[in-house]
Structure formats: C-alpha cells, structure tokens
Amino acid sequence: MTIAARVQHYLDDCGVDYEILEHARTMTSMRTAEAGHISGERLAKAVVLKSDGGYTMAVLPASRHLRLGEVQDCLDRPVGLATEAEVGQLFADCDFGAIPAVGSAYGLEMIVDDSLAEQPDIYFEGGDHLSLIHVNAAAFQRLTAAARHGRFSRHD
C-alpha cells in the first residue's frame, strides 16, 4: 500500500490529518467505493480536462457523471477531455486510472463540484489501485483551497 510521493508531500505540506485505507484492487471509481465500503458520494474522482490554457482537474463524486457543458460554463472557456497519454505524463508517479483528486499537488488548476461540500468526509485515490486517502471535510477544503467551485455533475 503506497500513495504517490508527490501526494504525500502535498498532504504533509498542507498540514492535514489523513489516513490511508487499503482496499482490493479495482479499476473503476464506483468499484473502489464498493471495495472500500463507502458511499460513491464521498469518493472524489478526478477527471483531467484540457483547453488552450492548459490542464484543469475536475473533481466530483464517484457516483456522478461530469457534465462538460456545465464545466465550460463555470470556467468560462471551452474544455475537452485530456488524452490517456496526456494524463499519463501529468501523473507519471500514479497508476493509470488512479489519479488523486488533489490537482494542486501537480500544479493543476482545479474545479470542485459543490456536492462534495455536503459530505462530512472525503476519500480519494492515492495514486495506485489499492489505497484510498481519507480526510475530513475541513481538510479537503484546505487541500482544494485554490479551486473554483460549481455544480457540474449529475446522477444517472
């Protein structure tokens, strides 16, 4: 069980308390929530977007889907999904598909879905497919202090 070194340094630099939870290997965010016995509303997943201005990380609950048009409205610019190759380069210290929802650790602009603020605590990938990072709501707000916020997700 290891989390990406860059993420661990960021957590420590921000001075937040966190715990690392081990779970069975999973390949989707909802399977990760199930394996960790947590609600998909409390598992923050990251989606990397790109625009002419660079990359932005959108963070939303695992149980929801990104509404790209709403993100564009919040950012006031067109964005699209980053390619797998681009994501791999940005998160070279992470397993593919296990991107931590703390884009600031990687120098990325962030936008966080407002629905996450309704949760008492948040879990997110640690950079591999075997561990989750658990923080309380105040710590997550601290980790995402520079992020924009908006409503850009929906349930199926």
pLDDT per residue, tens digit, the chain (156 aa), is 589 999 999 999 999 999 999 888 887 888 888 888 999 999 999 999 999 989 999 999 999 999 999 999 999 999 999 999 999 999 999 999 899 999 999 999 999 999 999 999 999 999 998 999 999 999 999 999 999 999 999 986
User: DSSP character for 115?
Assistant: G
* Distance separating alpha carbons of residues 9 and 88, to the nearest angstrom: 20
Sign of CA dihedral 1, 98, 146, 104: positive
The pLDDT score that the predictor gives to residue 24 is 82
Q: What's the total number of domains in the chain?
A: 1
| pTM of the complete model | 0.94
The pLDDT score that the predictor gives to residue 36 is 85
Its domain, for residue 68, covers 5-154
The pLDDT score that the predictor gives to residue 90 is 97
- CATH number of 69's domain: 3.90.960.10
* Distance separating alpha carbons of residues 109 and 149, to the nearest angstrom: 11
